[in-house]
Amino acid sequence: MAYTTDLIKNITISGHGGTGKTSLFERLLFAGGAIPKPETIESGKTVGDSTPEEIERKISIHAALAHIERQGRKINIFDTPGSSDFIGDVILTFRASEFAVLTIDGRAGVQIETVKLWRNLEGRKKPRGVFVTKMDEERADFDKALADIKEKFKVDPVPLSLPMGVGAAFTGVIDVLHEKAWFIDAGGGLEKEGAIPDAYKEAAAAAREQLVEAAAEGNDTLMEHYLDKGALEPDEIRKGLIEALADHKIVPAFAGAVLKNSGLIPFLDFLAEVAPTPNTAKDIVLDAEGKQQDVPIDTEKPLAGLVIKTTYDQFSGKLSWVKIITGKLTAESDIFNVSENKKERIGKLYTCVGKKLEEVKEFFTGDVGIISKSPSLRTNDTISAVDGALKFLPLRLPQPVHSVAVNAAAKKDDDKLGEFLVRAAEEDRTFQYQFNAETKETVISGMGELQVNIILDRIKQNQKIEVETRVPRTAYRETITKKANAEYTHKKQTGGHGQYGKVLLEIAPLKRGENYQFVNAIFGGAIPKNYIPGVEKGVLEGMAAGTMAGYPVVDVEVKVVDGKYHPVDSSELAFKLAGRNAFREAMRQAGPTLLEPINNLTVFVEEKYLGDVMSDLSGKRGKILGQDSLGGGIEEIRAQVPQAELLRYSIDLRSITSGTGSFSVEFDHYAPIAGRIAEDVIKAAEAFKVKEEEE
């Protein structure tokens, strides 16, 4: 059945690793009637964690989508991974939903990923709430968790549910909006409705007061009513909450112990009654000049949508998840893939509960639909009913930070490995692969060691490809430090035609980053014009090959100042060879030196690890540029560090910070290296060359 825009809700469950997202997702599907029986992480059969790698590791790795119906609304829910290695799948769900709930472990309170996810949602101006989980654990503390949120995010969360007891004495939750209690079912079924027990009446009344006040903040008329009457009607409260939430004035808070099916109903009713519909949402397109432009959700306009995710399912084949931003998506219809400039007939459409697909004929604006087996659709493509439509802004994903060089152990597996890498990169856009012609390696990169290792396991276990892995080689450069000149005569007399070309070059250092300049300073035709391109080709070959350790030469001005030619024996080839050798000779005399890539590094750590992280960075030849408190006890450190020192940084940082730290990294510039470090690079390059020649 298709739901109209005002009946659709798109919700993301996000949060720090292991806080209970997948368990909450499972129980919401159970409470919403989408599955007959809830499973647990331990049973390995949950809807959210359905791939072998998730079941084996007992963590979420991919976003999962399912929907339930509640009060006539279709609620699409995304379960997302908590580990920062899989942030790519979190970002796509944030883009596609109008509300996010952050799960917070009742024992731990706000954790580092909570802070980062909060900042991400803040940047998107996305309405959000919190769900304090595991209230059945002895040390869980709802009030403390809310105080933690208040302190770290400077907002006052508004409880919509309150826990009754904690640990073994936890009996259920109070639904503040509907003023009733929900008790744990001893038989393991859904929670049961009842009156608020006397012991909680006072707390419930205080929470109700706070809720009504928050609702009154929704708009001025409500505030006047509230100030006049000292109360609001239930419908007014709902209306006020809807508006206050959309305007970021409130952060609703929930409590529960989902393994006991507790805290689900008040949350589901809130999603159905209060959480934003896509009606007021917007997305962003890029106009012809690449400028960003808001596109309001619009049911009247022709179809436009964004492919947010691509999966390859063993049984269903290729599936493309599409967020519909304007118009309607209809099965068996023609669409344009704007990004690929292609018209395409799409086949069947589906909605899903995890891996289970249900066929649907059409999807309305705001919904998330699944197109199956479309050959051309890829993540980030814009689809449209009309040709030449504007393209939606692609998902903005962070750059990978951890890389490994791989090759198939057997040459015959090369193609199979290549095909697998294409798919893996399509399924998760934060995973990338690249053949680096300079270092002659295929390098795979991801958001951390965990993501890269999972891909390697899939290569070995599912694809049955034996692979070899190494730390990737660093792309060093060579340059010069002073002016020099050299001449070279290429001369050969073999049989009939000889070869002749003489070149005198002058080379000089350029500023860092200026790369290369070629100047023809010949006067009076010592080398005829038509041979100059040959000289330049030779110089470029010499630069590409380097002289110290075989790395490309950069930041050099090359001037051809003189030369000599022979009317019969000169040729472009002869001048190319002369140019290359003259360049090599000049380079040797010009104080050659090695350059190494320096990266900009941003590290996010909890305060307590700050000192250790700093001293590790100085041991890595890093230069600290600055440090900022982000609030929530999280520090941001900015530094410049040689790339060669960062090849295993995700592993180092994990061990320094017990897995809580994270970082981003990007190339900034090249800087000279000397002494021992340079000697080691040259030695390693020689060893690599010998190995290559042997192969």
Ligand X SMILES: Nc1nc2c(ncn2[C@@H]2O[C@H](COP(=O)(O)OP(=O)(O)OP(=O)(O)O)[C@@H](O)[C@H]2O)c(=O)[nH]1
Residues that bind Mg ion (CB under 5 A): 21-22, 60
Residues that bind ligand X (CB under 6 A): 15, 17-23, 40-41, 59-60, 81-82, 103, 133-134, 136-137, 257-259
Q: H or E stretch including 574?
A: helix 572-589
Residue 64 CB, nearest distance to Mg ion (Å)? Answer: 8
* Beta carbon nearer to Mg ion, 35 or 244: 35
* 461: its two tokens: 């276990």
Task: State how far the Cα of 614 lies from the Cα of 656, in Å rounded to an integer.
Answer: 11
* Beta carbon nearer to ligand X, 354 or 592: 354
* Beta carbon nearer to ligand X, 134 or 576: 134
Query: Which amino acid makes up residue 156?
Result: D
Q: How many CB atoms lie within 10 A of CB 480?
A: 24
Residue 51 CB, nearest distance to ligand X (Å)? Answer: 12
* Beta carbon nearer to ligand X, 23 or 310: 23
- Decide which of Mg ion, ligand X, none touches 32; Cβ closer than 5 to 8 Å per partner kind: none
* Beta carbon nearer to ligand X, 89 or 413: 89
* Beta carbon nearer to ligand X, 59 or 146: 59
Task: State how far the Cα of 102 lies from the Cα of 118, in Å rounded to an integer.
Answer: 8
The CA-CA-CA angle for residues 136, 137, 142, to 5°, reads: 75
Task: State how far the Cα of 400 lies from the Cα of 84, in Å rounded to an integer.
Answer: 11
Residue nearest to ligand X (CB): 82
Residue 16 CB, nearest distance to ligand X (Å)? Answer: 7
- Decide which of Mg ion, ligand X, none touches 570; Cβ closer than 5 to 8 Å per partner kind: none
Residue 606 CB, nearest distance to ligand X (Å)? Answer: 18
Task: State how far the Cα of 157 lies from the Cα of 151, in Å rounded to an integer.
Answer: 11
* Beta carbon nearer to ligand X, 132 or 646: 132
- Decide which of ligand X, Mg ion, none touches 41; Cβ closer than 5 to 8 Å per partner kind: ligand X
Residue 61 CB, nearest distance to ligand X (Å)? Answer: 8
Residue 59 CB, nearest distance to Mg ion (Å)? Answer: 6
Q: What is the dihedral of CA 428, 431, 435, 440, to 10 degrees?
A: -150
Got the DSSP string for 214-250? HHHTT-HHHHHHHHHHS---HHHHHHHHHHHHHTT--
Query: Which amino acid makes up residue 355?
Result: K
DSSP letter, residue 618: H
Q: H or E stretch including 172?
A: strand 172-175
Residue 355 CB, nearest distance to Mg ion (Å)? Answer: 15
- Decide which of ligand X, Mg ion, none touches 134; Cβ closer than 5 to 8 Å per partner kind: ligand X
Residue 274 CB, nearest distance to Mg ion (Å)? Answer: 25
* Beta carbon nearer to ligand X, 138 or 334: 138
- Decide which of Mg ion, ligand X, none touches 136; Cβ closer than 5 to 8 Å per partner kind: ligand X
Interacting residues of 221 by C-beta distance below 8 A, sequence separation 6+: none
- Decide which of Mg ion, ligand X, none touches 68; Cβ closer than 5 to 8 Å per partner kind: none
- Decide which of Mg ion, ligand X, none touches 451; Cβ closer than 5 to 8 Å per partner kind: none
* Beta carbon nearer to ligand X, 81 or 563: 81
Query: Which amino acid makes up residue 268?
Result: L
Residue 66 CB, nearest distance to ligand X (Å)? Answer: 14
Task: State how far the Cα of 252 lies from the Cα of 155, in Å rounded to an integer.
Answer: 10
- Decide which of ligand X, Mg ion, none touches 18; Cβ closer than 5 to 8 Å per partner kind: ligand X
- Decide which of ligand X, Mg ion, none touches 374; Cβ closer than 5 to 8 Å per partner kind: none
The beta-carbon contacts of 30-33 under 8 Å, at least 24 apart in sequence, are 30/190, 30/261, 30/264, 31/68, 31/190, 31/261, 31/264, 31/265, 31/268, 32/68, 32/69, 32/70, 32/75, 32/268, 33/68, 33/69
